[in-house]
Amino acid sequence: MTRIPQARDTTRTSAPCVGVFDSGVGGLTVLAALHRRLPHARLLYAADSAYAPYGERDAAYVLQRCRLLTRFLLRQGAQLVVVACNTATAMAMPELRSEWPQLPFVGIEPAIKPALALRAAGDGPVGVLATPGTLGSDRFRTLLARHAGDAAVLLQPCPGLAEAVETRGPHDPATLALLERFCAPLREARCTRVVLGCTHYPLLLDGIRAAFGDAVPTLLDPADAVAAQASRLAGELPQTHGTPTLCVWSNGEPARLQRIAAALGLPVGAVLALPTLEAAPAPLGAPAGSHGPAMSHHDA
C-alpha cells in the first residue's frame, strides 16, 4: 500500500474508493489515468496475471474471474468498479451488472466511435488491434455495426500479444517481433488511425511506432475517457473520508508490475499477493488437473 503525498491539511478529505481489475498489468494504463483524475481517491487495483490472458478464453471462464475479482474489491471497500479489460467488458459486463444492480461499473471498449468520427477525405482505413475474444464478442460486433457504416475498418486479432507483455515484458524482442507481425497488415493497408483494443497495447507504443516506420497512424487509447467517466461517477458516491491511498494486488510477478507502474508515473510501493479467491479453472497452459494461484452501470 502506498499513501499518496498530499498537501498538509487539518481537515479530512473526501476519498471515494474505486476498485479496478484487469487480467494483468495492462489495466495499469487505466489506473494511471484514474490516478491523474482522482488524486484524492482510494484506488484499489487487482492484477489477475496468473489467469491471463482473458482474450483467448471463453466467456464462462472470463465471467468467473470477473465475479471473483469484483467480490474481492468489494471486500476491500470499493464503491465503484472499473473493469479495465476490453475482453472482460465485452464478455462479462451484463452479468456483473445483473449480479450487483446497485454497484456502479465502468467498462472499457475499443475506441471505434471516436476513430470513425475523426475521419476525413483521403484518410485510409481504420485499424483495430485487439484480442480474439474482444473481436469475436457480440458487444464488439454491435459497437462496430452501430458506428462503422460504410467506412473501411481492418480488424487485426493479436493472439498471444497480451500474454507476451505479461510474461516477457513490453520491450522483449519476442514481444516486439509478435507486435511487428500484427502491425504489418495495418501498415500495408495504410491505416491512418489505429484503435488500441486491449489495455496492454498502450504499453507497446514505442514498438507500434517503430513497426509503422515513417507512416505512424493516430493511435487511439480510451483510458482517459474511462477515467473521466469514473471520476464523474465517483463524485456521485456517498461521501466518505480518509487518506488517499493506492493499493495493488497481483498473483503474477511483482517486479514487472512495479517497473511498468513506475514507467506510467504510478507511485506503487509494495505489491500485495492477491489471495486465493476460490476454486477456479487451471491457468492457460497448465497441466491437466493443475490449478494455478488465484491468489453503473455506466460505460465510458
- Any idea which residue has 487451471 for its cell? 282
Catalytic entry in 158, 183, 198, 247: 198
- Segment holding 99, helix H or strand E: helix 86-99
Q: At CA 60, angle to CA 291 and CA 95, rounded to 5?
A: 125
What whole-number distance in Å separates Cα of residue 266 and Cα of residue 260? 9
Catalytic entry in 17, 85, 158, 191: 85
Q: Quick one: angle between helices 223-234 and 28-37, nearest 10?
A: 50
Whether 198 is catalytic = yes
- Looking at the DSSP bridge assignments, the partners of residue 239 are none
DSSP 221-271: -THHHHHHHHHHHHTTSPP-B---EEEEEESS-HHHHHHHHHHTT----PP
Between the alpha carbon of residue 132 and those of residues 47, 54, 59, 176, 265, the distances in Å are 20, 10, 12, 19, 30
Determine contact, residues 263/206, Cβ cutoff 8 Å: no
Whether 66 is catalytic = no
Q: At CA 272, angle to CA 271 and CA 275, rounded to 5?
A: 145
Question: CA-CA-CA-CA torsion for 69, 88, 96, 110, nearest 10 degrees?
Answer: 130
- Any idea which residue has 479495465 for its cell? 84
Catalytic positions, written as ranges:
85, 198
